Amino acid sequence: MNAINPAGLKRRSFIYRELVKLGANFGELNGGAVPLDFGASREAELASAGRLALADLSVMPHAGFKGRGTVEWLAAQGLAIGPDSNKAYAQSGGELAARLAPMEIFLLDSLAGAGLLMQRLNAAWKWAEAAPRPQQGYPLPRQDSHAWFMLTGEFAPEMFSKMCGVDLRRDRFADGSIAQTSVAKMSAIIIRADRKAKDGRAHAAYHVLADIASAEYLWSCLMDAGKEFGIRPVGLTALRDLER
């Protein structure tokens, strides 16, 4: 991707000005300005991602579906969704289907960021809406309601202990688990979604989803809580490199 000025795009994170101050280099992905790196070498950002790092993925595609018949309809569309709530189910394209409740699914795109699954589901729902159908729930505009951060690194659980009452240690909070809880005194969704490298290593990673209007506050709280562990902001490139 070529570096761009985020102010030149209609879709950008609520905290893009803060990211600019931190030295972010942006690229365009799916019509939005995504921070690719923060000026450090690729090796340095990858090392930070392995220790403790925070990334802003808010402009990456994410969506939701809710209501009676939601899970059954999504399963008929080819999604793999298990029976348990507060569990995130990996999809074949790298997306996550986070089951927040028996009839509510929060979808997160893969780090490829093309949004193909969301586009397909929205098109299928609109087509089905116009025809006689069984109950299938309704879409939720999560792209406009939730900021999306990712915290990675071995010190992430220890850092979370300073601002969240849920025990997120890796031996207590399994990969794919979801906590709907309070982080820095605001409601948030935490999803453990480790990044798995080709050599078999698993790098600890947590999605953090919260009210988009409070994105700047949450980002500052996470960065402040991570200072003692040497937290650094990283871009999409470092997150992708974790899986190589």
CA 179 – CA 132 distance, rounded (Å): 37
pTM: 0.94
Cα separations in angstroms, 211 against 146, 182, 226: 5, 12, 21
Beta bridge partners of 195: 203
pLDDT tens, per residue, the chain with 244 residues: 557 899 999 899 999 999 999 999 999 998 899 999 999 999 999 999 999 999 999 999 999 999 999 999 999 999 999 999 999 999 999 999 999 999 999 999 999 999 999 999 988 888 766 565 667 889 998 999 999 999 999 999 999 999 999 999 999 999 999 999 999 999 999 999 999 988 888 899 999 999 999 999 999 999 999 999 999 999 999 999 999 8
Beta carbons of 188 and 208 less than 8 angstroms apart: yes
Sheet strands side by side (includes 138-140): 87-90, 96-101, 104-108, 62-66, 138-140
Residue keyed to tokens 């402009």: 59
pLDDT confidence of residue 98: 98
